């Protein structure tokens, strides 16, 4: 026999030793936050992210309940890693010739890999503390049928803010989450209380009105979705609201009061590469195949693919109000990539219409 409190203590120590900033344990139970998930999917708010629609053998959405995704699971270990850095926010003025890459993608490593390496250490400690025949585990970092922010709330990591991000009272929302599903009951923490109060700054600041209500996001309008997940062309009515975003969007976090005093990370792999903090739009719009491969080797920016990054940079040029980009846009309007060509033609029209 084993004592769940002793196992939980061992897991907590292992998480600290692995470099995680926060760790908690949530029970496996139906969460009221997930009751809206089937409706959210049915209304098309997931956009083209079809993986969110994964179903079990009974046709139930896996992410609508942990019981659907992993009926054997009894508890969830949730670990959090701070990725903030002491750099300006996207809401601060910058050179019109430069764009914005989301804060979490400034480092040299893909956070999936960095968090998973640490998570495996915690999993090993858990396995060492429980007889092998009595334990089944699964580790996920944004890759499994788990809505991490919901279990993070019930593990006491933080509350789910009105911008749908997990917010911790001390670290703010600049945190990566990793989870370990466990087949044994472990001593759980308490849910984190919601501290958003009456604040609606994130909702008010969203340029595309993607936050359709408190705690509800329409991915189709979200700049992060548009610049990373969306393939092909972007609807023209949304382009002008995208500003100079190249990869991701931090606006709803940048304006959050809980991030005003958020500490910087100690993790070396998340220290920012200077060229990615407000990167030059011309560089990204004209980046070649080999240069893209080398510049973003191991980076989450690869997810947008070269076409997506170039498309986004061209749209950013169109939103820059800087006519110096017209010569390069005229060149890109004849690019071999159809998506880049079309985006460049739009950007030319935008800049040419300005007096």
Residues marked active site are found at 142
Cβ–Cβ under 8 Å, residues 80 and 163? no
Report the candidate in 54, 244, 268, 30 with the shortest Cα–Cα distance to residue 150: 30
Cβ–Cβ under 8 Å, residues 98 and 281? yes
**Would you put residue 271 in left (φ > 0), alpha (ψ -120 to 50) or beta?**
beta
Contacts of 137 (CB under 8 A, 6+ apart): 123, 126, 127, 180, 181, 182, 183
Report the candidate in 235, 237, 339 with the shortest Cα–Cα distance to residue 285: 339
Contacts of 270 (CB under 8 A, 6+ apart): 83, 85, 104, 106, 107, 109, 111, 114
């Amino acid at each position: 026999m084993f004592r769940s409190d002793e196992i939980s203590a061992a897991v907590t120590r292992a998480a600290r030793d692995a470099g995680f900033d926060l760790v908690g344990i949530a029970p496996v139970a139906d969460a009221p936050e997930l009751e809206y998930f089937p409706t959210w999917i049915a209304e098309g708010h997931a956009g083209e992210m079809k993986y969110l629609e994964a179903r079990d053998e009974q046709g139930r959405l896996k992410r609508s309940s942990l019981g659907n995704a992993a009926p054997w699971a009894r508890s969830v270990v949730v670990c959090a890693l701070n990725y903030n850095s002491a750099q300006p926010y996207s809401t601060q003025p910058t050179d019109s010739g430069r764009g914005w890459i989301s804060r979490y993608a400034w480092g040299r490593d893909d956070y999936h890999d960095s968090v998973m390496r640490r998570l495996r250490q915690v999993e090993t400690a858990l396995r060492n503390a429980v007889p092998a025949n009595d334990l089944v585990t699964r580790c996920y970092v944004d890759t499994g049928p788990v809505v991490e922010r919901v279990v993070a709330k019930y593990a006491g990591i933080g509350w789910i803010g009105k911008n749908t991000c997990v917010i911790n009272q001390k670290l703010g929302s600049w945190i990566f989450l990793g989870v370990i599903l466990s087949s044994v009951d472990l001593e759980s923490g308490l849910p984190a209380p919601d501290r958003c109060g009456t604040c609606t700054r994130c909702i008010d600041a969203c340029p595309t009105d993607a936050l359709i209500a408190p705690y509800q996001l329409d991915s189709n309008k979200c700049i992060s979705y548009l610049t990373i997940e969306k393939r092909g062309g972007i609807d023209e009515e949304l382009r002008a609201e995208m500003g100079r975003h190249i990869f991701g969007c931090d606006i709803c976090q940048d304006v959050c009061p809980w991030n005003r005093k958020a500490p910087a990370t100690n993790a070396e792999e998340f220290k920012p590469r200077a060229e990615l903090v407000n990167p030059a739009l011309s560089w990204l719009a004209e980046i070649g195949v080999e240069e893209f491969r080398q510049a973003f080797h191991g980076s989450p920016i690869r997810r947008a693919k070269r076409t997506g990054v170039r498309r986004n940079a061209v749209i950013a040029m169109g939103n820059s109000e800087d006519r110096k980009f017209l010569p390069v846009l005229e060149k890109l309007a004849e690019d071999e990539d159809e998506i880049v060509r079309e985006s460049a033609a739009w950007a030319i029209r935008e800049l040419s219409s300005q007096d």
